[in-house]
Structure 1
Amino acid sequence: MVDVTPFEEYCEFGGDRVYLLLAIARAKENEGTAGDAAPTLRRVVEEAADLARTAAELEHAADRFDERFRLYLTANARDALKATFELRRSMDDWLEGRIHGDEGVRPKFRRVDREFLSTLQSDACRDGTNFVFDLDDATAADRDALVDDLRGHTGVALARETPNGFHVVTDPFDYTDFTTGVDYELKTDGLIFVSYLDG
């Protein structure tokens, strides 16, 4: 059973705000799986009370595959209403293309549910601006040093251990003048590692 307790407090639901939980089978962790063929499963989470159930659903769904999955949460909420309008605009384009003989759009009509999830996950539909500082090959001391440096610039919302290091999630700030001795990759609309799904 996946422990999602830290995320129940982290997530801010309300109005049209939702989050996405993603189960991703990364090619580099699954020998014989090509990057473009690695399965990804996504579910919408509408409120904090649904996090554990949705994580369990993804864990169950991942069991049917041979690959090992990682579970992630979007660092920023998504705007479901905006995603609906974005999808409607896309569908109008598909219809126009179909009317004019574009056979390439035909499969999109058979997978509207997946198209909605892709739209919801897009940068255009985020409803938040939290940053994810991704520390690979880092120690707990590196994480602590980064958190200390960040606290002089912004609020730190969450720090999470990952298989290769840590994710540190912060409130938005002007990072152009931020300096630290810790190596990191900054993701302005990233995913937060939750757990492995080991079935």
Structure 2
Amino acid sequence: MTMATAVSICSNALLMLGAQTINDFADQANLDRAKLCANLYPTQRDTMLRAHPWNCCIKRIVLAPIAEAPAFGYSHAFELPADCLRVLEVGTGGCQIDYLVEARTIQADTTVLELRYVFRNEVESSWDAHLIDLMTIAMAAVLAYPVTTSTSERDSRKAELREALRFAKAVDGQEDPPQTFGDERLLGARFGAFG
């Protein structure tokens, strides 16, 4: 079994469009397609990773505040990790807290911040199979018009991408536990006597 890479994803997308594949992003034999893929892939990857909290692209980190506090509103600011694409949960001591994301920082009234986030996972071989398929379809959609100059091909690929995204999100989400509302410890203490 071959491991997925950015180049293999782009090559498979080109195959879906009936075009010649590439060997790498500097492929001299297919330089136009290689450059096109090299230019479009990073943005498309980040868009797809940001679209859903994929289990294979989630990290946890504990942050300390930066030296410069916000001018008003919150007592501390925390710099987002460089690979952060989407904030999922912000808390302290295992509980969610009030916060605001602003200019690549998180503003909050705490001195220690627990962050769960979607990161820019550039190791495609660690991705779930559905995410690899989705990214291949996404690249086919974004490459459709430049490669084929057909608006109907482009529109058809975009429709396919919407359906594939819906399916991949549903499958990935089935691995997560059911969502709960509020602080379970507080709810347990409040309603535990009635259970």
TM-score, normalization: structure 2? Answer: 0.27
The structure richer in helix per residue is 2
Q: Greater Rg, structure 1 or structure 2?
A: 2
The structure richer in strand per residue is 1
TM-score, normalization: structure 1? Answer: 0.27
